Structure 1
Amino acid sequence: MTHTLHSLNLGSEQDVVSARQRARSVAEVLGFDHHDQIRLATATSEIARNAFRYARGGTVSFEVDPETGVLKVVVTDKGGGIPHLKQVMAGSYKSSTGMGMGIVGTKRLMDEFSIESGPSGTCVRFGKLLPTQSRPVDAATLQRVATLMARRHPATPLDELQVQNRELMKTLDELQERKEELGRINAELQDTNRGVVALYAELDERADYLRRASELKSSFLSNMSHEFRTPLNSMLALTRMLLDRMDGELTSEQEQQLRFIQQSAKELSEMVNDLLDLAKVEAGRLDVKPKTFEVAELFGALRGMLKPLLADNSINLVFEPADSLPPLFTDEQKVSQVLRNFMSNAIKFTPRGEVRVAASRRGELIEFSVTDTGIGISESDQRIIFEEFAQVENSMQRRVKGTGLGLPLSRKLAELLGGIVEVESTIGVGSCFRLIIPSTFPGAVPAVDLPMPELDPKRKLILIVEDNPETAFVYSRYLANAGFQTYSIPALEDARKILSKVTPAAVILDVLLRSETSWDFLRELKSDVHSLPVLVMSVVADERRVYGLGADAFLTKPFVPEQMIGEIIRLTSVSGRTRILMIDDNEVSRYLLRENIAEGQYEIFEARSGREGLRLADEIKPSLIFLDYYMPDLNGIEVLRDLRNSPDLARTPVIVHSTKTFDELELQFFRDHSVSIFSKQALTHPDSAARLRELMDTLAAHAGIENNANA
């Protein structure tokens, strides 16, 4: 229910002043603070002045609604209404007298606002929520307001101006205090910001230091692991030779000592391998190579690998059937590595009983478990076994040595596969280690089939088996410019699929593909089934082994493009192919010339100087020679004289390929020696390849060369 506190008519300017004064008084009685009193008084004054100025009068009523808790002011008039009301409310209209600004300002100051305007008059309602600490609006409160309004004498404009001045001075004082307080807060914030910036800088410095330290540690572990492998492998090989009595018999004491050395070398080799894998994981260089495999087949392979560890019949190794499980698509080698570690630990620390290996399905997850009846691990020790180099102290641990790296590595490999490692163990009862991983490696989808390359029957296919995409791309570009088509494959499994469908002219093979080697694949390629020409390109400088397994050519990385192209041309060449020799010290010029004549039709050789060109020409007896004029040792005319003085090369067609503009004497010299000219500038023309081919065909016909390029 709404209660009317006070009302007055607007008949003069004095009444507008009274409306402002009474709005402030009502607000004061109802408990509004100083600022809200001024807001209510100002809003009432603005709307009342509009009613008096434009409608020549009106009424102001003060009402309170105890239920909604709002003090309302209602100003009505009987004028002609407010034109352009929508524009006024939107704040986009302003008359010459400023009409509309008071309305918009009132709406902004108040909690509630509404306006109705038409030809018969205007009614403006606005209000403000009562203070939360004000007393309930009851009959006593209403009586107090009525008594106060009755005692108030109408204020003159001068009186009201003085009140407004005092309010303004008070407001200015409060603003000054707030400004000073804001200044102090800003100063404190600046000090805090400087401290935070300094802290962040220190944290960044620490983080950078830790990152560099981690990188150095990983680099050190990786480099040292590689360095350790060579002497360790030598130690193992030498002890095997001695134990096999290759240099004579051994005493029982000598044999025992050698076995100690051999066992120590094996343990150190295991530690080195684990360190290298840890370093790769921490450095983010250990890649996951997912493929599809059956759990049953994995268990079969593990059974064969772990059988030698069963030294006696006191331990029974049991693999539970896994035929009902679906195929997995993840890194089989890493899953096998984790399970081998679990199983070898279980066998080591189980004096008698059994080690049981099982796998089960958990929705989209696969859980592998290795359960033993061994000595068990205490709850306190379970927290440290996954720390690097941690060892559980007990009598059996002292008898069975370990590296302390297997379980930490297993946990990191599990995380790499998107899974976790868990352990449950009871002293004297046994332990159960679990590997829980997604059945499909996260972010990977099993490959359904490899797309077949679109083969051009006029160009020979070179299969590139290389896991580094940048390197494979460089190979492909050079070979494409030499007239070949290429197909790059990063994994051996995919390479085998491609070879089952197409037969390339040759294969470029890297023998180290991430974590797998391709020695067996090289042996397959050179078997009776494929018998494909193979060019091995690798950082591994094991030339004897490469050729021992049947490779046709071998180049070390980093490679020389001309050597690679030359070897591929040699491996894929047919008898009678036209040989072209380029004698030019400028690599770019040789590249552009190759690009214009390349169709896989010619066997191209390159020389970087005049002397090298003469030597190579005498060795290969080319059918055509491209000769540059300006070279650092011998110029084109000197090389040409030597060629024409050679009985085997005197009639070989020569094309001078140069940027030089020759004079009449030089041109006559070339005509006398049956030399053609094809300027390097001509290669910039759109039809350069066709013009060059036409010149080469003409020379071949005159020289009686059988051009079997299309054979």
Structure 2
Amino acid sequence: MERQDQIRLATALSELGRDRLGCAEVTVRISLAADPVPALEVTLRWAEGPPPAVEALGSVRRLIRELSEQSVGRRGVIVLRHLIPVPAERFPEIADRVAAALLDRAAANREEDLRAQTRDLIVALEEARAQGEELKLVNEELAQTNAGVLALYSELSAELEQTNTGVVALHTELEDKSRQLREASEAKTRFWANVSHELRGPLNSVIGLSRLLAEAGPGVLGGEQREQVSLIAASGETLRTLVDDLLDVAKAEAGQLVPQPAPVELGLLLAQLEAVMRPLVAQPEVILAFPDPASMPALVTDETMLTRALRNLISNSLKFTTSGQVRIEVRPQDPDRLEITVMDTGVGIPEDEQARVFEEFYQVRGPHQRGNAGTGLGLPYARRIVELLGGTLILSSAPGNGTRVAVVLPVGALPAAPAPSRVPCLISCDDDPAFSAVLRPLLARIAETVVQVADGAELPEAARRARPSAIVLDLDMPHIDGYETLRLLAAAEDLAAIPVVVLTGLPVTEIERERLGPARAVLTKERLGVRDLACALGLTPPEESEP
């Protein structure tokens, strides 16, 4: 045993010895145990005497980990057990040495024992003093470390506070800039809208008057004057197109364009668009190709907004295509999305400018702009409309190889008709009268008529008489259980289509799900509510559900 363990054991035994002074027939048995692990056991017995003092036992427990004590009347026993690091192969040798030392009574006397105890105490005091000195040094180091940590914490806190102050100031500045940008954008939008409205009146007058002059008789205008009036009318039409673009973009930015989804005959929409766009084909070398209207899929979207977006894209392609073709294709991308593609063989767009063409008023510079007036709003406006419709607009292009613009839109669906909140008739099959009494008012809230039967054998005939909208069926019944009743209903041609909702009080793990094929849903009787029943039957739940 290590020195400290020897001192602890000796001190513990001395404490117990002093406590047991005066007791009759005190014996001490010291033994070595090999199983389950090597240990030294000391058993102290007495035949007559008071129980051990609580203070003495508490002191010993602080020194020895394993201590058991038992007192019966004035008799008792205390067992101390201490594990010893003895290899299994050396255990017999160690045991012999201990036995020899205990039997050598001549080697021990009281004075020698006292001297040995004194030496042990001196050693223990020296060790305690050394540990105290070491602990003192450790405490001093910890104090220095804590001082350094506190200084570092204070420094970091000050730096963090300064950083936070800077972040708050920056955040405030960003908020102010964002507010200014938002106000500027709103002012720009209001300016576009107001100017566009103000310009439309004079423009319409100019265009109308120029048409009246152009339609005047031959003696009113000369040939040169008539050509000048035609140029005025054409310029007015171009200017009105630009004003319309401005007004549309202003409405989109102001949030005034709100999609109104409705079923759209895409074939008819494209046929009308072809009729409008074909006169705009200025070059005889350009072919404008639309798909067959008869093969168009169904679509639910805002027809007006989609027409505007496609008209802008097609007009853009026609404007910058001098030969070849402008082709429109439609194909389903997946069951939920539809792709409408506008492809041309025009001049194309350089890669470094493909992102910028979606900026308002930006136009790619080059000789292709001659004779092609525009505002640079067509593509930004088309993309904004497509996004409002819940889709995406994807552009790919290369100089000299034309441009491809794909509009991907959700197919959409008409809002489903609201589910009814009640059905004409429901049948409940349950052999428990108490639960049937609880279930009936729940069913009455979602059915005009409620029929209840107590046996699966009676259910088919009752269903033929009542012709219910649905059946609520218990699984655990004595004669014919729910599984067999489900099989009977599924086998009957006139009853197989009636929806069945299964109720059960069985644990989920005990349900044979492979035998519940025809059932629409399985509900547990615990905490069953009218909302659960309504949802299982595809009904609109009542506003207030009862548990």
> Letter of the aligned partner of 1:388 in structure 2?
E
> Letter of the aligned partner of 1:242 in structure 2?
L
Check the 8 A contact 1:369/1:435 in 2, yes or no.
yes
Partner of 2:357: 385
Cα distance in 1 for partners of 2:124, 2:366 equals 101
Q: Does residue 1:57 correspond to 2:60, yes or no? A: yes
Tell me how far 1:233 sits from its aligned partner: 1.5
Structure 2 counterparts to residues 45-444 of structure 1, below 5 A? 54-57=57-60, 75-79=65-69, 153-155=123-125, 159=129, 164=135, 167-245=138-216, 249-311=220-282, 313-363=284-334, 364-440=336-412
Q: Which of 422, 432, 446 is the equivalent residue of 2:414?
A: 446
Structure 2 counterparts to residues 3-14 of structure 1, below 5 A? 7-8=5-6, 9-12=8-11
Check the 8 A contact 2:283/2:323 in 1, yes or no.
no
Unaligned runs of 5+ in 1: 17-50, 62-74, 82-118, 126-149, 452-711
Q: Report SS of the residue matched to 2:348.
A: coil
Q: Report SS of the residue matched to 1:249.
A: coil
Deviations 1:313-367 (A, max 9, x none): 4333221125344311111111111111121222222223332211110012111
Cα distance in 1 for partners of 2:128, 2:282 equals 114
Q: Report SS of the residue matched to 1:203.
A: helix
Check the 8 A contact 2:357/2:379 in 1, yes or no.
yes
Tell me how far 1:393 sits from its aligned partner: 3.0
Check the 8 A contact 2:190/2:250 in 1, yes or no.
yes
Tell me how far 1:156 sits from its aligned partner: 6.2
Check the 8 A contact 1:235/1:262 in 2, yes or no.
yes
Cα distance in 1 for partners of 2:3, 2:14 equals 17
- 1:368–1:121 Cα change, 3 Å: farther
Cα distance in 1 for partners of 2:146, 2:234 equals 86
Q: Report SS of the residue matched to 2:332.
A: strand
Cα distance in 2 for partners of 1:120, 1:273 equals 105
Deviations 1:106-165 (A, max 9, x none): xxxxxxxxxxxxx9889999xxxxxxxxxxxxxxxxxxxxxxxx9x93126983666655
Tell me how far 1:76 sits from its aligned partner: 2.7
Cα distance in 1 for partners of 2:141, 2:417 equals 84
Check the 8 A contact 2:283/2:322 in 1, yes or no.
no
Cα distance in 2 for partners of 1:271, 1:185 equals 60
Structure 2 counterparts to residues 650-661 of structure 1, below 5 A? none
Cα distance in 2 for partners of 1:185, 1:232 equals 68
Query: Percent sequence identity over matched residues?
Result: 33
- 1:170–1:383 Cα change, 3 Å: closer
Check the 8 A contact 2:331/2:340 in 1, yes or no.
yes
Deviations 1:213-233 (A, max 9, x none): 111111211222212211112
Partner of 1:458: none
Compute the TM-score of the two structures, normalised by the length of structure 1: 0.42
- 1:403–1:165 Cα change, 3 Å: closer
Check the 8 A contact 1:11/1:56 in 2, yes or no.
no
Cα distance in 2 for partners of 1:124, 1:177 equals 44
Check the 8 A contact 1:10/1:59 in 2, yes or no.
no
Tell me how far 1:412 sits from its aligned partner: 1.4
- 1:171–1:374 Cα change, 3 Å: closer
Tell me how far 1:271 sits from its aligned partner: 1.8
Cα distance in 2 for partners of 1:124, 1:10 equals 8
Check the 8 A contact 1:290/1:331 in 2, yes or no.
yes
Cα distance in 2 for partners of 1:4, 1:260 equals 116
> Letter of the aligned partner of 2:387 in structure 1?
E
Cα distance in 2 for partners of 1:295, 1:176 equals 78
Cα distance in 2 for partners of 1:450, 1:259 equals 58
Tell me how far 1:406 sits from its aligned partner: 0.7
Q: How many residues align?
A: 337
Cα distance in 1 for partners of 2:228, 2:202 equals 18
Moved over 6 A (4+): 3-6, 13-16, 119-125
Tell me how far 1:53 sits from its aligned partner: 5.5
Cα distance in 1 for partners of 2:330, 2:323 equals 23
Cα distance in 1 for partners of 2:280, 2:254 equals 32
Q: Report SS of the residue matched to 2:321.
A: coil
- 1:449–1:124 Cα change, 3 Å: farther
Q: Report SS of the residue matched to 2:171.
A: helix
Tell me how far 1:431 sits from its aligned partner: 2.5
- 1:246–1:12 Cα change, 3 Å: farther
Q: Report SS of the residue matched to 2:167.
A: helix
Cα distance in 1 for partners of 2:246, 2:13 equals 95
Cα distance in 2 for partners of 1:184, 1:293 equals 68
Q: Report SS of the residue matched to 2:365.
A: coil
> Letter of the aligned partner of 1:180 in structure 2?
A
- 1:236–1:157 Cα change, 3 Å: same
Cα distance in 2 for partners of 1:416, 1:5 equals 86
> Letter of the aligned partner of 1:57 in structure 2?
V
> Letter of the aligned partner of 2:124 in structure 1?
P
Unaligned runs of 5+ in 2: 16-53, 72-76, 84-119, 420-547
Q: Report SS of the residue matched to 1:77.
A: strand
> Letter of the aligned partner of 1:421 in structure 2?
L
Cα distance in 1 for partners of 2:275, 2:409 equals 24
Check the 8 A contact 1:52/1:58 in 2, yes or no.
no
Cα distance in 1 for partners of 2:183, 2:289 equals 46
Cα distance in 1 for partners of 2:239, 2:82 equals 93
Check the 8 A contact 1:356/1:372 in 2, yes or no.
yes
Cα distance in 2 for partners of 1:263, 1:336 equals 24
Q: Report SS of the residue matched to 2:253.
A: helix
Q: Report SS of the residue matched to 1:404.
A: coil
- 1:182–1:393 Cα change, 3 Å: closer
Cα distance in 1 for partners of 2:82, 2:296 equals 78
Q: Report SS of the residue matched to 1:289.
A: coil
Cα distance in 1 for partners of 2:124, 2:55 equals 17
> Letter of the aligned partner of 1:277 in structure 2?
D
Higher relative contact order (CA 8 A, sep 6+): 2
Compute the TM-score of the two structures, normalised by the length of structure 2: 0.54
Tell me how far 1:268 sits from its aligned partner: 2.0
> Letter of the aligned partner of 1:76 in structure 2?
E
Tell me how far 1:299 sits from its aligned partner: 0.9
Check the 8 A contact 1:222/1:276 in 2, yes or no.
yes
Deviations 1:564-619 (A, max 9, x none): xxxxxxxxxxxxxxxxxxxxxxxxxxxxxxxxxxxxxxxxxxxxxxxxxxxxxxxx
Tell me how far 1:13 sits from its aligned partner: 8.8
Tell me how far 1:15 sits from its aligned partner: 11
Cα distance in 2 for partners of 1:182, 1:15 equals 52
Cα distance in 1 for partners of 2:237, 2:325 equals 26
Cα distance in 1 for partners of 2:226, 2:70 equals 122
Check the 8 A contact 1:293/1:327 in 2, yes or no.
yes
Tell me how far 1:391 sits from its aligned partner: 2.3
Q: Report SS of the residue matched to 2:358.
A: coil
Check the 8 A contact 1:414/1:420 in 2, yes or no.
yes
